[in-house]
């Protein structure tokens, strides 16, 4: 039995090596671009490389967006930025199965590369498929399923690959780039903007913008290959493999963060005036400061304890700061803590005034939340100049 298994293993190995050593004159390489889905991980689209060898009846797809949900401590590793992603290979028909179910379009564009460049590209992919090279640490901006394809194409074609001239107009930031895909998903937009820091507001160059699959298709479609002075488009016109319309999401302003937070702000203002010394307002403060404390802890975690570069130096920590936790402790212990509430008030007021000039873009829906912290710290600080402050101990 062991001899039979050994013979079968050797046969498979020989076949694989033979397939990899086949002449590449009839091999064609395609860029695969997949449309947006409705799941959080799929709203940005997806990219892959397709290699078709008619002689072997081989039509394989290689993509760098594979991860394993069964990975131990999956959620923790994902949050820490230490989740391994993999390059996967599968027949085209199997690859398309998921997109048929999800009803997402798939386009295929043949690359205008010669046999030598094709050989190098295929060699780079096979090198990437080796067990020691198969996994990598995912980075949303700089090392993902799209940038890996861009890098392989650049290495295969070399200096003959030319991008359009340097732009003279206003370049979008990384935050702008992801926002256009997140815009229909208002709560996702709120959450992503909350945890992204100053690095997300860096300008994204022509090459940088290829971290998004659909944008990479657009940018590479404008790239050319220099063939003895003749500029040949890198990609041919798209061929539709699967044709589904892009998902349409209807926005409802009354379910948006900015509307709901503004509504809460108005209620907090009314209760602050009419329920100054009530037990109800004390309970509400504990609830509010508990929520803001959780967000403050998230700011600390993502800012200092993860490997996600785009989450570093997050200036939202100016209004979601650790002093909120200290204020919560005083509330729970039913002690005044005037100095801490006053410090929190001045920090919140400073952020509200200066957020326009800070080197980070902030969602408009953050402002009602800052105002809630500002108002409750104003009342809890019992400033002598505040005529609406409670006259007795809260």
Can you give the pLDDT at residue 390? Answer: 59
pLDDT at 78: 66
Answer whether 124's CB lies under 8 Å from 156's CB: yes
pLDDT of residue 8: 33
pLDDT of residue 91: 95
Mean pLDDT, consecutive 10-residue segments, the chain of 394 residues? Answer: 36 41 72 91 93 91 83 65 84 94 95 95 95 89 94 96 84 94 90 94 94 96 94 96 85 89 96 83 95 96 85 94 97 93 96 94 96 95 71 48
Q: What is the model's pLDDT at position 250?
A: 76
**pTM for the full model?**
0.85
What is the rounded radius of gyration, in angstroms, for the C-alpha atoms of the chain? 27
Q: Where in the chain is the domain with CATH 3.90.1720?
A: 27-167+205-242
- Residues 112/223, Cβ–Cβ less than 8 Å: no
Q: Are 365 and 179 in contact (CB under 8 A)?
A: no
How many Cα atoms sit within 13 Å of 30 on the Cβ side?
21
Cβ atoms of 63 and 47 closer than 8 Å:
yes
Q: Residue 42's pLDDT is what?
A: 87
Query: Cα torsion at 62, 67, 70, 74 (round to 10°)?
Result: 170
pLDDT recorded at residue 170? 84
DSSP 285-320: HHHHHHHHHHHHHHHHHHHHS---GGGSS-GGGGTS
Determine the pLDDT at residue 113. 96
For residue 225 the two structure tokens come to: 């290959």
Length of the chain as a residue count: 394
- pLDDT for 14: 38
| Range 27-167+205-242 has CATH code 3.30.160 | no
As a dihedral over the C-alpha atoms of residue 15, residue 21, residue 27, residue 28, rounded to 10 degrees, the angle is: 90
Is residue 225 within 8 Å of residue 112, measured between CB atoms?
yes
DSSP strand pairing (239-242 vs 106-110): antiparallel
For position 24, what pLDDT does the model report?
Answer: 56
Strand positions, DSSP E, the chain = 28-34, 46-53, 58-66, 84-91, 106-110, 135-137, 161-162, 224-227, 230-233, 239-242
Task: Give the pLDDT confidence score for residue 263 in this predicted structure.
Answer: 97
SS3 state at 210: helix
At 6, list the tokens: 């050994």
Map residue 141 onto helix, strand or coil. Answer: coil
- What pLDDT, on a 0 to 100 scale, did the predictor assign at position 274? 86
Q: How far apart are CA 299 and CA 320, in angstroms?
A: 7
Tokens of 226: 């220099």
State how far the Cα of 14 lies from the Cα of 37, in Å rounded to an integer: 39
């Amino acid at each position: 039995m062991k001899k039979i298994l050994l013979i079968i293993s050797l046969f498979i190995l020989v076949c694989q090596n033979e397939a990899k050593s086949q002449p590449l004159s009839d091999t064609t390489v395609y860029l695969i671009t997949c449309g947006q889905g409705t799941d959080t991980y799929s709203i940005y689209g997806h990219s892959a490389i397709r290699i078709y060898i008619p002689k072997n009846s081989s039509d394989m797809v290689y993509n760098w967006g594979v991860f394993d949900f069964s990975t131990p401590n999956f959620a923790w590793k994902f949050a820490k930025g230490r989740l391994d992603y993999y390059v996967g290979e599968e027949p085209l028909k199997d690859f398309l199965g998921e997109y048929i179910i999800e009803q997402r379009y798939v386009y295929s564009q043949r690359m205008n590369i010669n046999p030598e460049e094709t050989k190098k590209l295929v060699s780079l992919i096979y090198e990437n498929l080796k067990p020691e090279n198969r996994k990598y640490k995912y980075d949303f901006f700089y090392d993902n399923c799209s940038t890996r394809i861009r890098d392989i194409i650049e290495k295969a074609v070399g200096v003959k690959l030319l991008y359009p001239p340097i732009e003279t107009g206003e370049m979008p930031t990384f935050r702008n780039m992801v926002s256009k895909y997140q815009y229909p998903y208002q709560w996702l937009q709120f959450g992503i903007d909350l945890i992204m820091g100053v690095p997300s507001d860096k300008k994204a160059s022509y090459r940088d913008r290829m971290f998004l699959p659909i944008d990479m298709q657009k940018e590479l479609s404008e790239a050319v290959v220099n063939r003895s002075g003749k500029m040949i488009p890198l990609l041919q016109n798209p061929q539709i493999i699967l044709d589904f319309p892009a998902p349409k999401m209807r926005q409802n302003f009354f379910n948006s963060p900015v509307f709901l937070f503004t509504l809460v702000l108005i209620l907090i203002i009314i209760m602050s005036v009419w329920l100054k010394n009530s037990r109800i307002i004390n309970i509400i403060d504990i609830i509010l400061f508990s929520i803001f404390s959780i967000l403050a802890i998230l700011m600390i975690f993502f800012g200092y304890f993860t490997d996600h570069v785009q989450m570093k130096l997050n200036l939202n920590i100016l209004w979601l700061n650790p002093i909120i936790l200290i204020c919560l402790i005083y509330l729970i212990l039913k002690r005044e803590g005037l100095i801490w509430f006053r410090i929190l008030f001045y920090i919140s007021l400073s952020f509200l005034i200066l957020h326009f000039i800070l080197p980070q873009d902030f969602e408009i829906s953050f402002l009602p939340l800052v105002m809630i912290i500002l108002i409750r710290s104003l009342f809890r600080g019992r400033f002598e100049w505040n005529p609406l402050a409670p006259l007795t101990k809260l």
